[in-house]
Chains A and B, each alone.
Chain A
Amino acid sequence: MGLASASTATDGMQLCIFDLRRGQNEGQELDKILFFFPADLPFSTQLSVIGLSEGLITFTRIFSPEAACEIIEAERHSHVFYEAETDIWMVMADFPVGKKLQLPSFRDCLKERGTVQMLTMGREAAIEVQSLVSVLDSCAGNSSCYSMILFHDLLVSTTLSPDDTINLFTYAVLRLSPNALSSGVNSWSYIRRGSTSSHFVSGSALTHSGPVSEQIYHSSDTSPVGNNINRVTRALQHGKWYKGKDGFLVTDIWGVDVGSLVCATPTVWLQQTEEAMYLCPYQFKSLTLILLIPVSSILNGEQGVALVKQQLLENASLKILKVEEKLSKGWGGENAYHVSGYRYLLVDGDRNISRASPPGKVTTLAKESLLALSKLRDEVDLEKSRAKRDNAGCEKDLEVSIRAKNNAWAIARITGGKELYMVLEKASETLLYASDAVEKFSNRYCNGAFSLD
């Protein structure tokens, strides 16, 4: 949510992610840029934004070595800092052209890890999926693999820890899902109308930047995308994944294996188990399977990976077919989770799962409704942080309703770690009416989780 709402404001707003450890030598400065928005800005501008941020961080560290600056508000600009991992910084820079942005806590936006969107399926399909999962996880013999299954852009199953799940899910939706592959841009493309994929590629795709001294990159193992090859891996590049003949997705982002001249299999670092894993995505129609094989279990590199892939095809093909068929049968289409009359966001904070009205429906909301929603969120965030301060560990129940200028109701209900946000533009009569509508929604779609007892 954070990213999505941030990027709606394009004027003068920049978001960059950079690695302080990289690009310290002259001529290699570009290496430090991990991500930049907008990507079509000239590199010189990107570098100057990052340079300024770096300067501010270094400066403020003099006074507070443990926690550098969080927010700098200046007359002509404001910077919001967030150190996502050691030496990896996310900085949102705002150079207001006319008006200042009206958004709830910038920093919270940066901190937010995002959520996973789940597919709802029947018991039978779920059992089939689980059966497939056990085949996937035992693909590489004795060493246990992890797996994640997506259907369209929705999560079907995962054996990863919640944190790793969010990271990989987000990456998959942005770069691996059938949507991401076919459009070349990410699945939030509706937000970015006007930017073509070619811009992204030219903007962020950097060629090998020559030999780099080893001591700098030794530490790169701790980055989420850890690998030992002395080159900068830009895992976020667009349009770099494509589907091979065998159904597996391949990319040359991680370079080419010297021995076999095939694309090197990407590796990712799992935070939960602190293990490097080969990333093997496989796609069949709308189904994307991501198999993670422990690097330590594969002795002969690419050959070994190819063997496991072969195993997967042999053991799981039938089941994949079956699961795809089952899920397709139950698939309600893009607007499957639309509830007419409601615009909603459902967040399960404990499980980092969310579900919302489909984007196409959300964009029909009036500006006034959105403003009311923004205000509502502000209130809720405030209330939540207060509750957290007061008594940590105890969950607070909360209900906030705001009447917008266009007579729409913006309502938030929080209970037992679950949050429901809702905009009702047509429930204009009374608060009672609006409250009834929420109750109905809760009973029908949330097992009564938000119903007031």
Chain B
Amino acid sequence: MSGKASSSSQPSIGLSGSGALSHIYIQYPPLRCSIPESRGLHYDDGTKLLIPSTSNQIFSWKTVPFNPLATSTSDSIPEGPILSIRFSLDTKLIAIQRSSSEIQFWIRETSEAFSHRCRSDSENILGFFWTDCPLCDFVVVKNSGLDLFAYDSVAKSLDLVEMRKLNVCWYVYTHESRLVLLASGMQCRTFTGFQLSSAGIVRLPKFDMAMAKPEANSKPVLAAEDVYIVTVYGRIYCLQVDRVAMLLHSYRFYRDAVVQQGSLPIYSRKIAVSVVDNVLLVHQIDAKVVILYDIFADSRAPISAPLPLQSRGFPRSYSSSSRSSGKDGECSEVNNKIDHEGIIYGDNWTFIVPDLICDAIAASSSETPSVLEFLQRRKLEAIKAKQLCLGIARTVILERRPVSMVSKAIDVLVSSYSLSLKTGSYFKGIKTESTSSGVAKTSVARSSTDVSTSRIDGTSIRHESTAGVDSEYPSRASTFSASESEENASSAPLRTDSRDLQLGGGKVDRVNLTGAHSSGPTDNPVFVNISEQQDSELTSPAISPDEMYKFVFAAVEEEMVGDPSYLVSIIVEFLCSTNMEKIKVHPNLYVLAIQLLARNERYAELESFVTNKILEPSKEVALQLLESGRQNIQTRKLGLEMLRQLSLHHDYVSLLVQDGRYNEALRYARKYQVTTVRPALFLQAACSSNNSQHLAAVLRFFSDFIPDFRTTSDFTTYYGILNEMNTSVAATSF
């Protein structure tokens, strides 16, 4: 179920319409599991195991991390019908539903079994799942409500902890969200939700889903396959297909409310929904295309044009072939990657809680800043998202797109970086001090972020992804900056006392948090994805100013032809962004700006750049000013002045001497006790002026300034020269 995203290197324009283009690829080769006499195929989203079964054997394949060559483990179990299989979260137990009233538990270690039955005959088991909720380990959903059990490993039995009585027609549950939605009512459109997170059980307010009527008096009934729970950026949504209205309604869950968010049009009688790397994929099965939405943004517009799903690496000739002979009929539950290879959206596809990886072809979208925003939110394959971002940044500059547009794009990158500093996801490869410098600047305006992160800091969370229900409704602004915090919130349990935390000392919490980060990535509780992709080096596609300089500005500068003032404008926009986010810029960027301005002979402007400290003073900047000052004396002066103001005494004095201003240099050397410049330099300069008085003055100065100077060879040499000068002067004057 886990494909790998790859930043498509596929050219998008030339191939469009050829059918070879796709946004979404199924990982190829697929995981093949051929089990003779297989009776059924199950998927357990709690343990992410793929489970084919025969009458007395259970095989399980790990799907995360994805490896097409993964081998299965098998358990022999008592023979009997298998309706459903779920492994306990620690995979020590296997729960097997045998009938509508019986669940059998298989203890793998000891090969023991025990059973659980419904109390009354009128009760029907609709389903069950394992949970990491502290109250219970196992939940059974029946038509009469929820039964919560704790597993007693000593007695090897289930103890009833709690019962929630209510009528249930059917239910949906995902382990990722820890949310179970129970449908009730005539139309099955009234829902009660429970979240069984590590903080306990939260009951969500009852709500109705919208359903259009085909005609008066007819009341369609909502089916379980039309409701999807999805987790995007740590927020939990429910998506509901309204077949009459041809709409996909979305609802977002908050702690104390369920709010309808709007609807997406659908173009197929049959659709399926999956989420890959926080991107919502709506498979329009009849049309055999998939449409991508980034529902983080307010816009309901798809990210890209609808394109078919394809198999990556699969020979194309097959992919377009029509159905193969349907002899795989025994696969009653078929996963989209075990299916007959080559057939996309085959009739017998079942979409199970999927982790497909999407592959966004950035170039096919025209709105660069939003593409960058999108890419910066990617967590899987961050390195590719990052390279893509760098590539886009270079391209828009090289293509000389309007400054305002490039500026927006840069804003996105810089604020994303700033955010990654604050949340610490940029910690890899960045020095500790720069991380802490980002931390110090936490603003009060981001207090909502602080709240969520501080919670995580307080409670240590060992589980991977639990989507928390967001309590910040309704003030949550859907800004980009919030994305990280929501991500964090996703690993936080539901809050019990979130009110107290509002606005409270965000700064301090943040510092603590960073402290935790520096301890290392592996035991870092904040980043849900880390545990799943330790092999990947980067956790964030954020781009530091240094990288911006190296991979964008410096790279672009080499390729750019013509008037460099465009690049200067872009650099200014970059400085604007970094200044807003209080991020330090590498002096090399300033050096580049100076070179560009000097190349255009815009010395007056260069001067105002320096005097207004748009280019912050540093030794590098000063030296470049001196270098560029070879063509322009004013610029050279600026460089000298900067050296003086930076108290780089040695360099300053040496340069004064170079300019022949050795009197000034001497005064300065005396004032600041600069002893590192060799007297010979001064003497040489004074000597070349051919003025005996000057030479005498310099000699005199060093005799006073440096003890024992009179014993040095410098003194003897130049004293001799001075005497010669004097005699020659005397000679000519007579």
Q: Chain A: residues with CB nearer than 8 A to chain B?
A: 121, 123-124, 126-128, 130-131, 134-135, 137-138, 144, 157-162, 165, 315, 350-351, 394, 397, 416-417, 447-449, 452-453
Please state if A130 and B614 are interface contacts (CB–CB under 8 Å). Answer: yes
A453 x B614 contact (CB < 8 A): no
B614: which A residues are within 8 A, CB to CB? 123, 126-127, 130
Query: Are A159 and B602 touching (Cβ within 8 A)?
Result: yes
Give CA–CA (A137, B403) in the complex, Å.
Answer: 12
A138 to B572, CA, bound (A): 14
Q: Collect the chain A residues with CB atoms within 8 Å of residue B616's CB.
A: 123
Select one of A135, A165, A447 contacting B604, CB under 8 A: A165
- What string of 1s and 0s marks CB contacts (under 8 Å) between B560-589 and chain A? 000101001100110110010000000000
How many angstroms from the CA of A134 to the CA of B572 in the assembled complex?
9
What are 10 sample pairs from A and B whose C-beta atoms fall under 8 A apart?
A126-B608, A131-B569, A131-B576, A134-B573, A135-B404, A158-B604, A162-B604, A394-B660, A448-B644, A452-B667
B568 / chain A contacts, CB cutoff of 8 Å: 134
B162 close to chain A: CB less than 8 A: no
In the bound complex, CA of A83 to CA of B259 (Å): 80
Does B565 lie within 8 Å of A144, measured CB to CB? yes
The answer to the question of B159 belonging to the interface, with a C-beta cut-off of 8 Å to chain A, is no
Contacts of A137 on B, CB cut-off 8 Å?
565
The answer to whether A159 and B634 have CB atoms under 8 Å apart is no
Given A350-B637, A351-B634: A315 and B404 within 8 A (CB)? yes
> Does B532 lie at the interface of the complex (its beta carbon under 8 Å from any beta carbon of A)?
no
Q: Which of B682-716 contact A (CB under 8 A)?
A: none
> CB within 8 A of A416: which of B569, B602, B637, B671?
B637
Bound complex: CA of A429 vs CA of B356, how far in Å? 86
C-alpha gap A333/B538 in the complex (Å)? 51
Q: Are B575 and A127 in contact, CB atoms less than 8 angstroms apart?
A: yes
Question: Closest B-chain residue to A128, C-beta based?
Answer: B576
Give the top 7 A-B pairs by smallest Cβ distance, nearest first. A126-B612, A134-B569, A453-B667, A130-B572, A453-B668, A123-B613, A453-B671
Closest Cβ of chain B: how far from A350's Cβ, in Å? 5
Q: Is B670 an interface residue (CB 8 A)?
A: yes
Q: What is the distance, in angstroms, from A66's C-beta to the closest C-beta of chain B?
A: 30
Which B residues touch A128, using CB under 8 A? 576
For B668, the closest partner residue in chain A by CB is A453
Task: Select from chain B the residue with minimum beta-carbon distance to A135.
Answer: B403
**Interchain nearest-CB distance for B534 vs A (Å):** 41
Residue B609 at the A interface, CB < 8 A?
yes
What are the residues of chain A within 8 A of B604 when measuring CB–CB? 158-162, 165, 351
CB-CB under 8 A from A144, the residues of chain B are: 563, 565
- Residue numbers in B under 8 Å from A448 (CB-CB): 644-645
Identify the B interface with A (CB < 8 A). 403-404, 407, 563, 565, 568-569, 572-573, 575-576, 579, 602, 604-605, 607-609, 612-614, 616, 633-634, 637, 641, 644-645, 660, 664, 667-668, 670-671
Closest residue on chain A to residue B664 by CB atoms: A453
Which residues of B are found within 8 Å of A165, using beta-carbon distances? 604
Query: In the docked arrangement, what's the CA distance between A160 and B607, Å?
Result: 13
Q: Say whether, besides A127-B614, A453-B671, A159 and B605 are in contact (CB < 8 Å).
A: yes
Q: Which residue of A lies closest to B407 (CB)?
A: A131
Contact B608 A157 (CB under 8 A): yes
* A351 and B575 within 8 A (CB): no
| Minimal Cβ-Cβ distance residue in B for A449 | B641
Give, as a whole number of angstroms, the nearest-CB distance from A359 to chain B.
Answer: 24
Q: Which residues of A contact B602 (CB under 8 A)?
A: 159
Chain B residues with CB under 8 A of A315: 404
Q: Nearest CB to that of A134 among chain B residues? A: B569
**In the complex, what residues of B have CB within 8 A of residue A123's CB?**
579, 612-614, 616
Q: Are A397 and B579 in contact (CB under 8 A)?
A: no
B637-A447 in contact (CB<8A): no
Q: Select one of A121, A134, A417 contacting B637, CB under 8 A.
A: A417
Contacts of A416 in B (CB 8 A): 637
Q: Indicate whether A127 sits within 8 Å of B579 (C-beta atoms), given known contacts A159-B602, A351-B634.
A: yes
Structural contact, B569 and A397, CB atoms closer than 8 A = no
Least CB distance from B608 to A in Å reads 6
Q: Across the interface, which residues of A come within 8 angstroms of B576, CB to CB?
A: 127-128, 131
Contacts of B572 in A (CB 8 A): 127, 130-131, 134
B559 → A minimal CB distance (Å):
20
Distance from B690 Cβ to chain A, minimum over Cβ atoms (Å): 13
Q: Give 10 A-B pairs besides A130-B609, A350-B634 with Cβ atoms closer than 8 angstroms.
A: A121-B612, A127-B579, A127-B614, A131-B573, A134-B565, A157-B605, A157-B608, A351-B607, A417-B637, A453-B667
Q: Which residues of A contact B667 (CB under 8 A)?
A: 452-453
Which residues of chain A come closer than 8 Å to B605, judged between CB atoms?
157-159
Complex formed: what's the CA distance from A350 to B407 in Å?
A: 34
Query: B residues within 8 A CB of A452?
Result: 667
Look across to chain A and name the residue whose beta carbon is closest to the beta carbon of B608. A157
A138→B569 contact, CB < 8 A: yes
By beta carbon, the residue of chain A nearest B612 is: A126
Residues of chain B within 8 A (CB-CB) of A350 are 633-634, 637
Residue of A nearest to B577 (CB): A127
A453 to B565, CA, bound (A): 39
A121 to B634, CA, bound (A): 21
Q: Which residues of B contact A126 (CB under 8 A)?
A: 608, 612-614
Which of chain B's residues have a CB closer than 8 A to the CB of A124? 579
Distance A244 CA – B724 CA, assembled complex (angstroms): 77
Complex Cα gap A123–B573 (Å): 13
Return chain A residues, CB-CB under 8 Å to B407.
Answer: 131
A220 to B607, CA, bound (A): 34
A315 CA / B634 CA spacing, docked (Å): 34
Residue of B nearest to A158 (CB): B604
* Inter-subunit contact B579/A447 (CB<8 Å): no
C-alpha spacing A134/B403, complex, angstroms: 8
Q: How far is the CB of B403 from chain A (nearest CB, A)?
A: 6
CB of B113, distance to nearest CB on chain A (Å): 71
Query: How far, in angstroms, from A205 to B607 measured CA to CA in the complex?
Result: 40
Q: Which residues of B contact A158 (CB under 8 A)?
A: 604-605, 608
Cα–Cα distance between A351 and B608 once the two chains are bound (Å)? 10
| Least distance between B592 CB and chain A CB atoms (Å) | 15
* Bound complex: CA A160 to CA B602 (Å): 9
Question: In the complex, what distance in Å separates the CA atom of A160 from the CA atom of B604?
Answer: 8
Whether B664 pairs with A138 at a CB distance below 8 angstroms is: no
